[in-house]
Structure 1
């Protein structure tokens, strides 16, 4: 998983609440199993006109078509639990979504896929939104837990320490377990092998077993 420490980018502004996962990634594309390439289907209905061609949706418009930050309204990512919504965002290049609130499962899925969902509310959120609409770059500093606006104002944010650490190290859940508990896992496996050796075949016995099967 890609590490997240600090990014500086223009931010795409989406002044809309309750943007659900079917809007972010329509259900008809769920048969696509490869994460790579899903970005082209991000906000598919918003970005593509019915008669063909592209709309003036913010993610089709320079410089926001290269944005790594999305500033949205409340309850972003509500609806179904489809993880593809986050896959499409990250494949498009968006690493951070800033909103007053998120769908619970979407919020969790972001951390599992190298994306940072930031909860910023009230007047602070409005200042971030206005900064995004200006087209000037913002900086999201995960280590300092600060969003820096174009005028230099810093807006602090709270984040679970465990999730912050895993994002900064680029660890998903499995990677985090291996990083934190590898020695305990190895000790358990060694003890298990010692206490119940009949459950394990060493290389020599396994080779003889298959050799006997082939010869018969």
Structure 2
């Protein structure tokens, strides 16, 4: 729970309704996209005024996407409004409200839950995922892809080695880690990532630790 603060624990433990209350037969699983915020902010100037960039977040969740048949329309017009307490908790890992609303509008039609349950699921997944210290360090460092993968599987024993994917973006001098994708079964347990979820990083890349 290194990157999700104690308030998250309070929220997860204080709500007892099931996460998967509706039919989910069309869903093969979920993929959580963990964004390396310093890298994302440096590559995309349009994001630099977003809260996650201004306040110096090291990691944020950009999405939790359901794995559904290709071409399925997942848009919804249902409300993404959260209670003040839940909004405060979700902001720990998804600080920009507009981005949260847009995410829900894009995926809400394909998940067997309402917005409150969906974002509770995001928090649940984020709270359980233990991340290596290198990902939240203020220092910019070079890492080996397989070494970072091994760190993840050591910290999360039920995570299979191919249950995680790394995405990089090239800069002038090297490749910089921009996103980590973690694959889940419908019940929230880790699983192997599907073949179409590919890695985009070389064997060695940079973790950007400062803005």
Report the TM range for the smaller structure's normalisation.
under 0.3
Answer 1 or 2: which has greater helix percent. 1
**Larger relative contact order (CA 8 Å, sep ≥ 6):** 2
What TM-score do you get using the length of structure 2 for normalisation? 0.23
Of structures 1 and 2, the larger Rg is shown by 1
